[in-house]
A and B are shown apart, each in its own frame.
Chain A
Amino acid sequence: MGLTITEKILAAHAGKDKITPGETIWVDVDVLMTHDVCGPGTISIFKEQFGENAKVFDREKIVIIPDHYIFTSDKHANRNIDILREFVSEQNLPYYYDVGTENYKGVCHLALAQEGHNRPGEVLFGTDSHTCTSGAFGMFSTGIGNTDAAFILGTGKLWVKVPESMQFKFTGKFPDYIMAKDIILQVIGDIGVDGATYRTMEWTGNAIMNFSMEERMTLCNMAIEGGGKNAVIEADEVTLKYVKERTNKPYNIYHSDHDANYFFKKTYDASAMEPVVAKPHSPDNKALVRECSDVKIDRSYIGSCTGGKYTDFLAAANLLDGKKVAVNTFIVPATTEVFKDLESKTLNGKTLLNIFKDAGCEIGDASCAACLGGPKDTFGRTHGTEVVVSTTNRNFPGRMGSKQSEVYLASPYTAAASALTGRITDPREMLN
């Protein structure tokens, strides 16, 4: 019996030839990522357990990316950034992307990719559930809490229960109006918010492999919304081109064997996919966009690790160019690199930034912003009964701030089309 990509990576990091799903193993960690929300708690547990003067297991393997509560006057949030700074200085950590400096990046999951920390075949843990995003690079990556992160800081190891794999295959070609967000919302709708609990969501098929790295990251980002332990897409030439432009470090490429064992396999016809939303208040509350065309919205929000990448904004700009939005529309680039792309890359002779400004959108600075509500003064946060169409990844009650607000998760195309009409709108109405 062969092995899946995930099983091969975990076996290699546990020093074993073979592992079986359900088995508990200890793996060597290649990268530990933390941020401003969970970093301070992690550091405090690390010091409590390993001593005030303890040193991290390998300073080259720690990446700290403040991104959640950056542009706020909240004194506790700002204090947490100071704790990160102090730790980085004390441990002399090379990979820290400090707020208020040219090094500042923004949302950790995209920053990891853009700064060359995502490498095929590696094991990456992060104190954020959307760490599964990095699986787009053919690596094992998953979210953990402060205690596990502190354990890694001290030892470079963590226990893992080997997950069973689920394979989602898309054959053929996606229609032009379909984005990766439509696909992940479709699949989560099909399997439910706990349909992949403690399992791997492996994506395959020529339609998936035709996606850009940005779109692959969108797919893998929301594995956690299906309960998944990790997501993975095997590395190919698209992956290697992206990786080689950003790091010189070596990596290993793994492929799933033809006779690997899967808990579940499903094949979809890519050409049959339709634009999808997740209605309030759960990411698996799936509906076709065209079935929701009578839902009036107060706000459109395009941003976050899953919906604030260059390709997301290019899609939105395609629809917004030369038009005016009908509702408050927030544009939040995930990272400073994406912000620079908005300033420099053009469509029909105009920069994306100018297209958004001319359309009447509000532009925020790179960070997690209102994706998870945050302090009261967070850009784009809901405070009342707003109905929002958003390219983010969660629509649990209160996720974007107010418990009374209602969030529809959607692709950047759908969010932009809806921004123009003031109701949930199928992008095909605009693209034809």
Chain B
Amino acid sequence: MLGDNIDTDQIIPAEHLVYSLSDPEEKKNYGKFAFSGVPKDGAGLPEGNKLFVEDGKFKSEYTVIIGGKNFGCGSSREHAPACLKIAGIQAIIATSYARIFYRNSVDGGFFIPFESPDQLINNIRTGDNLTINVETGTLTNNSSNHNFKLQPLGEVAEIVKAGNIFEYARKAGMI
């Protein structure tokens, strides 16, 4: 659970962008440093001061990220969605996204960047148990029995369905 304007320097600080994204051992470092740039009081709301990845580990105990508006703003680094996937993230639900991060998540097939029109920030706490129903477009907080709407995927739905931009283009006969 994070706030508004989580930028790519908070998601993966620039000093760590040197690691290979293709070498299986080296790329684990991206998991280790995922969200390491988030100031302590903003990490794991509402309480804060929660580590996304425990010291010495390469994976997070969390699998879903809830963010506020303009999630992923800043740099075009694809290391940002990549590091979250490497850390074990399966979905992000935010109020809105910066567009390059959104595109990168969809075209690279890292995870589905869901948007929700509902106020998530006061109704979900870090550590709550969540269920996402892609078919019905709903998010359920099993810890509080709250239901939230997810926005339709719109123009990127076909790419999401295909898996990534390459699979989409193959299906469409472009490549």
Contacts and interface: CB of A to CB of B under 8 A. Distances in A.
Contacts of A144: 76, 100, 103-104
A38 B99 CA distance: 18
A412 to B, nearest CB: 23
A56 to B, nearest CB: 14
A394 B5 CA distance: 13
A317 B17 CA distance: 34
A346 interface: no
A397 B37 contact: yes
A148 B9 contact: no
Given A74-B18, A145-B104, A397 B39 contact: yes
A376 to B, nearest CB: 7
B96 interface: yes
B162 interface: no
Given A151-B169, A397-B10, A194 B21 contact: no
A398 B98 contact: no
Contacts of B69: 194
Q: Is the interface of B mostly helix, strand, loop or mixed?
A: loop
A198 B99 contact: yes
A373 B14 contact: yes
Contacts of A145: 76-78, 81, 100, 103-104, 107-108
B74 A49 contact: no
Interface string A343-376: 0000000000000000000000000000011111
Given A76-B18, A197-B96, A397-B10, A403 B107 contact: no
A374 to B, nearest CB: 6
B18 A69 contact: yes
A372 B155 contact: no
Interface bin, chain A: 35 or more
B131 interface: no
Given A146-B78, A396-B74, A197 B21 contact: no
Contacts of A282: 5
A76 B75 CA distance: 20
A194 B70 contact: yes
Interface string A18-44: 000000100000000000011011001
Nearest to A75: B18
Interface string A107-147: 00000000000000000001111010000000000011111
Nearest to A69: B18
A157 B70 CA distance: 27
A37 B70 contact: no
Contacts of B38: 397
Contacts of B165: 147-148, 151, 159
A229 B100 CA distance: 8
A80 interface: yes
B76 A375 contact: no
A413 B108 CA distance: 42
Interface in B69-94: 69-70, 73-79, 81
Contacts of A181: none
A286 interface: no
B116 interface: no
A118 B129 CA distance: 50
A197 B75 contact: no
Contacts of A315: none
Interface in A365-390: 372-376
A154 interface: yes
Contacts of A146: 21, 78, 104, 108
B70 A193 contact: yes
Interface string B50-85: 000000000000000000011001111111010000
Contacts of A154: 175
Nearest to A197: B99
A159 B22 CA distance: 25
Contact of A398 (B10, B96, B107, B164): B10
A216 interface: no
A128 B76 contact: yes
A88 interface: no
A307 interface: no
Interface string A398-427: 110101000000000000000000000000
A403 B169 CA distance: 41
B22 to A, nearest CB: 4
Interface string A148-186: 100100110101010000000000000000000000000
Interface of B: 5, 7, 9-10, 13-15, 17-22, 26, 37-39, 69-70, 73-79, 81, 96, 98-100, 103-104, 107-108, 155, 164-166, 169, 174-175
Interface of A: 24, 37-38, 40-41, 44, 48-50, 68-69, 74, 76-77, 79-80, 126-129, 131, 143-148, 151, 154-155, 157, 159, 161, 193-194, 197-198, 224, 227, 229, 282, 372-376, 394, 396-399, 401, 403
21 contacts: A37-B14, A38-B76, A41-B78, A49-B166, A68-B14, A68-B17, A129-B100, A131-B76, A145-B78, A145-B81, A148-B165, A193-B5, A194-B96, A197-B98, A227-B70, A394-B74, A396-B7, A396-B9, A396-B10, A398-B9, A399-B14
Given A76-B19, A197-B98, A374-B15, 13 more contacts: A24-B155, A38-B78, A41-B21, A41-B22, A144-B76, A144-B100, A148-B104, A157-B174, A224-B74, A396-B7, A397-B39, A398-B9, A398-B10
